[in-house]
Amino acid sequence: MAKSKTVFFCKECGHESIKWLGQCPACKQWDTFVEEPVIKTASKTNIRVKESTPTKISEVTTSEDTRILTGLHELDRVLGGGIVVGSLVLVGGDPGIGKSTLLLQMSKNLADINRKLLYISGEESLKQIKMRAERIGEFENDMLLLSETNLDTIEATIKSIQPEVVIIDSIQTMFKEEISSAPGSVSQVRETTATLMQIAKGLGISIFIVGHVTKEGVVAGPRVLEHMVDTVLYFEGENQASYRILRAVKNRFGSTNEIGVFEMRSSGLVEVSNPSEYMLQGKPEGESGSVVTCCMEGTRPILVEVQALVCQTNFNMPRRTAAGTDYNRVNLLMAVLEKRLGIQLAGCDAYVNVAGGIKIMEPALDLSIIMSILSSYKNKALDSRTIVFGEVGLTGEIRAINMAEQRVIEATKMGYTECILPQVNKDNIIAKGIKLIGVRNIRELLSYI
């Protein structure tokens, strides 16, 4: 009996090898090769190749109707203004985070405006989908449901029904019969996604696929999966917190910096139109170590609270902890404080936290981290109506940041009366209703604590 041939694939980049390798020669990752059977393809002999006629770019027309509004403003924002016709969107996230709930709510909104939609589930029966749909609300119009995992059957159904939007939940449960490996393997995920991409581009159908994530937080399967799709959305959030953040890490039709904020309730996901007010709920008044800053997520300014706790250490080596921001950046800023201001932090434990669980990596957070550390170290509170933002250099200078005027406007809307910002930005901003305090270096901060 002939032995079936197998090859090895890299789970990160899809590189193919006839033997197992410890390190992938393409992406340089270790221990990423998995064994998969060879996919048998039909012979290309005696097949006529049909010529394709190129089209001039001036003859291609675009209009506003190439996007479909989902009825969820936060989702439309992340997608870049709505669903692009013929696009392939990958939605990833931790189990139970709300991926299926979000797409089901989107399906309800599209069905209510008479959009033809097909919801395909490989994990739930039709009754289970109906139970979740009843929790969200009553559907005004019918939505087509299909419980199937065979992609050949799904492809035939899509071509016969011709829906406008298709949802696949999830890609790890789909399989093609000509591939002998199990559903969820590298070969199955790659080939099923390629087939769905051909359907989306060929028929002009927008397809959403749900992808499971690994313990590292990335979509399970080969990394080439993210390269094949048009948009990659990640649904983030803590299990203990009620809010959820939808973030685009890849978008061919819009910005990758936009985020959408939702709150999980018993009736489903509810949009948070004012994330600044939501993030500042429960902020303490008159406590040391608490500073409010403004970060930019795409074009959206969001006010968040930065907290610091500095106390004498009981160990030979002080402990440093950072939650919601870069740990190494916090250590760097503390070294700047010790060198430029002569503050002895070597004998202190320092804990920095961005309240609300949101993660911020932009440099504009530097000044608020330094202010919160100074406030906690001296045990003196900053005025509760003051907002702080700016980038700090290694020499202690405070450098300019981008979109400073939008941050000031957002602070004014939220009722803040003072804003500490880089002097360079202050010279270019004319603000009403808020006092702007420009600072050039961290030495000037001591008078405000």
DSSP for 415-444 reads T--EEEEEHHHHTT---SSSEEEEESBGGG
Q: What is the CATH number of the domain that holds 386?
A: 3.30.230.10
Q: Let me know if residue 45 belongs to a domain.
A: no
Burial of 221 (0-12, 13-18, 19+ CB in 10 A): buried
Query: Does any domain span residue 138?
Result: yes
Range of the domain at 21: 6-37
**Percent residues over pLDDT 70 in the chain:** 92
- Return the pLDDT at 39: 58
Which residues sit in the known binding site for ATP?
93-100
Tell me, yes or no, whether 32 and 118 share the same domain: no
Single residue among 249, 273, 297 that ends a domain in this structure: 273
Same domain, 155 and 188: yes
Considering the chain, what percentage of its residues have pLDDT values greater than 90? 49
Asked if the model's pLDDT at residue 321 lies above 90, the reply is: yes
Q: What is the reported pLDDT for 304? A: 94
- Per the structure block, which two tokens stand in for 54? 């190129």
For residues 288-296, average pLDDT = 94
Pair 269, 288 in one domain: no
pLDDT in the model for residue 276: 87
Q: Give me the helix-helix angle, 151-161 and 186-203, nearest 10°.
A: 10
Whether 44 shows a pLDDT value over 50: the answer reads: no
Quick one: pLDDT at residue 141?
80
Residue 176 included in any domain: yes
In a domain, 50, yes or no: no
**Has residue 42 been placed in a domain?**
no
Question: Cα(158)–Cα(152) distance, rounded to whole angstroms?
Answer: 10
User: pLDDT value at position 43?
Assistant: 46
Intra-chain end-to-end CA distance of the chain, in Å:
81
Residue 45 has pLDDT above 70, yes or no: no
Q: Domain boundary at 247, 273, 299, which?
A: 273
How many structural domains does the chain have? 3
Same domain, 224 and 89: yes
CATH number for the domain including 128? 3.40.50.300
Q: Are residues 269 and 337 in the same domain?
A: no
Tell me which of 221, 242, 273 is where a domain ends. 273
Residue 217 pLDDT > 60, yes or no? Answer: no
Q: Is the pLDDT of residue 388 over 70?
A: yes
Q: For residues 317 and 268, state if they share a domain.
A: no
335 and 409, same structural domain? yes
Nearest to 368 by CA among 356, 386, 350: 386
Tokens of 341: 């201001």
Same structural domain, 21 and 87: no
- Distance CA(154)–CA(28), nearest Å, equals 37
Look at residue 56 and tell me if it is in a domain: no
Evaluate whether residue 58 is within a structural domain.
no
Nearest-CA neighbor of 416 among 303, 313, 338, 309? Answer: 303
**Residue set of the binding site:** 93-100
Token reading at 226: 């993210």
Classify residue 80 by its DSSP letter. Answer: T
Residue 48, pLDDT score? 58
Specify whether 303 is located in the same domain as 402: yes
Question: Helices 366-378 and 327-341, interaxial angle, to 10°?
Answer: 60
Q: Would you tell me how many other CB atoms lie within 10 Å of the CB of residue 212? A: 18
Helices (H), 57-137: 73-79, 99-112, 126-136
Could you identify the residue written with the tokens 């930019």?
A: 296
Residue 281 pLDDT > 60:
yes
Query: Taking the complete model, does pTM exceed 0.85, yes or no?
Result: no
Indicate whether 96 and 128 sit together in one domain. Answer: yes
In the block, which residue shows the tokens 């003859």?
A: 59
Q: What is the mean pLDDT of residues 108-133?
A: 90
Pairwise CA distance, residues 365 & 102, whole Å: 31
Residue reference for tokens 């002895």: 344
Domain shared by 162 and 261, yes or no:
yes
* Degrees to nearest 5, angle at CA 435 with 362 and 336: 40
Whether 91 is covered by a domain: the verdict is yes
Q: What is the mean pLDDT of the chain?
A: 87
Are 287 and 410 within one domain?
yes
Cα–Cα distance for residue pair 266/184, rounded to 1 Å? 31
pLDDT at position 303 is 94
Total Cβ atoms within 10 A of residue 349: 17
Instruction: Enumerate the β-bridge partners of residue 37.
Output: 6
Q: Got the DSSP string for 234-301?
A: EEE--SSSSEEEEEEEEETTS-SS-EEEEEEETTEEEE-S-HHHHHTTT--SS-TTEEEEEEEETTEE
User: Residue 257 — very low, low, confident or very high, per pLDDT cuts 50/70/90?
Assistant: confident
pLDDT level of residue 197 (50, 70, 90 thresholds):
very high
What gap in Å lies between CA 16 and CA 8, rounded to an integer? 6
320: three-class secondary structure by DSSP: strand
